[in-house]
Amino acid sequence: MVLNYKKFLEKNTYHSMNDLYNLARQIKDFTYNNDVQPTDYFKSIVETKDEFVVNFSFNGDKIYKIKKDEVKNHDIEISVDEAFYNLDMLFNQIQSYLHSFNIQQIDESNGSFNKEIFIEFYHQLCKDEKVNPIPIKFKLVGRAGGCLVYDNGTKIPLHIEFDINKVQDIEYALYHEFAHQICLIKYKDPGHGSKFKKEFNRINDKYMYGDLATNYMKKILK
Ligand SMILES: [Zn+2]
């Protein structure tokens, strides 16, 4: 078997293109859910139809373009492992930065979070959008502050997880995961593509700052 350059790069690595793509998606998800602001080392992560463009810096700017079958740094193809290693490091930095920020915020606010009313709010959204509610779990979520768990084969949404200590804006996070739930039901699509963006924007515009949400959020964050 003859390996082309792409195959060669992928063969000699611990991580697959799929791992890398998923990592980029996790970073994107995390920055969405936590409203991560650009810093010296993290500039942006943008998802287009068929690629992620990550702009970050460890001693000099790196712009990674991750497609399904290749990764480029400033238009030069690089190994999957190198990209994975660097993005993983970036992700750790984003998280540790955010973690210290969150701890500060929790200490200062000294507030409580009403899980029961939060779930009630979610059920109300489901009723309004005519979808069946799925269980909401509050737990430590691996890398992101929120996460929708679905069956990979059937694409049926199973439950939603929130790590309320990590999520800065729980209302935004709820709309994000709820939009995933709707996209899985409607299109069997778990991604962050144009369908997701459209659905998220629709939900966000419809409810954020509306009377229903404002009243619930007041009670939830009392
Ligand atoms: Zn997401």
Q: Which residue in 86, 37, 28, 38 sits closest to 59, CA to CA?
A: 86
65 and 151 part of one domain: no
Rg (CA), the chain: 19
Query: Last residue of some domain: 53, 75, 108?
Result: 108
29 C-alpha to ligand 1 centroid (Å): 5
31 and 120 part of one domain: no
Give percent above pLDDT 70 in the chain.
86
Q: Which DSSP symbol is given to 143?
A: S
Domain containing residue 126: CATH number: 3.30.2010.10
What is the model's pLDDT at position 137?
87
Cross-strand pairs, 45: 54
9 and 91 part of one domain: yes
12 and 72 part of one domain: yes
192 C-alpha to ligand 1 centroid (Å): 6
Question: What is the pLDDT confidence band of residue 11, given thresholds at 50, 70 and 90?
Answer: low
- Where in the sequence is the domain holding 49, given as residue range(s)? 5-108
Cross-strand pairs, 55: 44, 63
96 and 156 part of one domain: no
4 C-alpha to ligand 1 centroid (Å): 34
209 and 124 part of one domain: yes
Q: How many structural domains compose the chain?
A: 2
More confident residue, 7 or 211: 211
Query: Last residue of some domain: 63, 85, 108?
Result: 108
35 and 123 part of one domain: no
Residue 220 phi/psi, 5° resolution? -70, -40
94 and 120 part of one domain: no
Q: How far apart are CA 110 and CA 78, in angstroms?
A: 47
Beta pairing, strands 146-150 & 157-162: antiparallel
Question: What is the pLDDT confidence band of residue 168, given thresholds at 50, 70 and 90?
Answer: confident
118 C-alpha to ligand 1 centroid (Å): 19
Claim: this prediction has a pTM higher than 0.95:
no
36 and 130 part of one domain: no
The full DSSP string for 78-140 is --HHHHHHHHHHHHHHHHHHHHHHHHHHHHHH-----HHHHHHHHHHHHHHHT-----EEES-
214 and 120 part of one domain: yes
Helix-then-strand count for the chain, H and E:
7, 8
* 76-82, long-range: CB < 8 A, 24+ apart: 77/5, 77/6, 77/9, 79/9, 79/12, 79/13, 80/9, 80/10, 80/13, 80/15, 80/16, 80/17, 80/19, 80/20, 81/13, 81/14, 81/15
132 and 206 part of one domain: yes
Q: Which DSSP symbol is given to 62?
A: E
For 107-144, the pLDDT digits (tens) are: 444 458 899 999 999 999 999 999 999 999 887 776 56
82 C-alpha to ligand 1 centroid (Å): 25
121 and 94 part of one domain: no
Query: Last residue of some domain: 84, 108, 132?
Result: 108
3 C-alpha to ligand 1 centroid (Å): 35
